[in-house]
Amino acid sequence: MHRKTITDAFGNLAVIAANTDELAVKPSSRIALVLFIMTACLALDQVTKYYAVQNLQWEPVKKYLGDTFRIHYATNTGAFLGLGNALPENVRFWVFNVFTGVVITGIFVYVLAASRMKVVESVAFALLVSGGIGNLIDRVVRGGYVVDFMNMGIGKLRTGIFNVADVAIMAGIFLLLTYKFFESDPEESDSEKEKNVERAEA
C-alpha cells in the first residue's frame, strides 16, 4: 500500500514536471535567473577555495558524520576526480583551458539566445556554466591546477576529492538527465498533455 502510494506520488511529480511550461516566460527573467545562480555558485566556489588555500593546506584530514564526509586539501591538474592528470601539460592546457572555455562560452550564449527554455533547463545550464567557470578560473590563476577539499564515502568506497564547482557541474548534469528522462514525448498533443496534468492533480 505504502509502496504504491510512493510510486504514484513520484509518477505524478514526473508528469507535472514534464508538462510544466517555463515559469520565467520572458527571456529577461530567464537571463536574470541564470545570472543569479551563476553569481551565487561562483561566489561560493571561490570563497570556499580561498578558505581551503588559507586554512587547510597543512591541516590533517578532518572527518565528520562517522567518516562519511571529509575535509581534505588537495590540488588537481586533471578534470573531475583527477581524470586526465597523466596527460602532458600542453595537452591539458588545450583540453581543460581552451576547449573547456569554448564549451562554456557556447552553452552560455545558447542559454542567453534561446527564445524558449524551461526553468529546469535554465537552472541546469547555469549550474554547468558556473561550475565550469569556477574551475577554469583556478586553472588560469593557479597555473593549471584546481583546488579540491571535499570527499565523501563509506569505508573504502569513496569519491575522489572535489569542490563546489564540481558539485554544481554534477547537479546540472543530474537535472538535465532527469528532465530529459521525464520529458513528454515531443509528438504528444497539447490535449494529451492537459489530460496528463489533470490526471496528476486528481
SS3 183: coil
Question: What are 155's three cell numbers?
Answer: 569505508
By CB atoms closer than 10 A (0-12, 13-18, 19+), residue 189 is: exposed
Catalytic position from the list 138, 148, 185, 190: 148
Catalytic position from the list 67, 138, 166, 190: 166
166 given a catalytic annotation: yes
Q: Which helix (H) or strand (E) holds 5?
A: helix 2-19
Q: Rounded to 10 degrees, what is the CA torsion of 131, 132, 136, 137?
A: -40
Q: Do 68 and 137 meet the contact criterion of CB atoms below 8 Å apart?
A: no
Furthest CA-CA distance within the chain: 62
CB contact set of 193 (below 8 Å; sequence gap of 6+): 19, 184
> Which residues, in sequence order, are bridge partners of residue 153?
158
Question: What are 173's three cell numbers?
Answer: 548534469
148 given a catalytic annotation: yes
| Residue positions annotated with a catalytic role | 148, 166
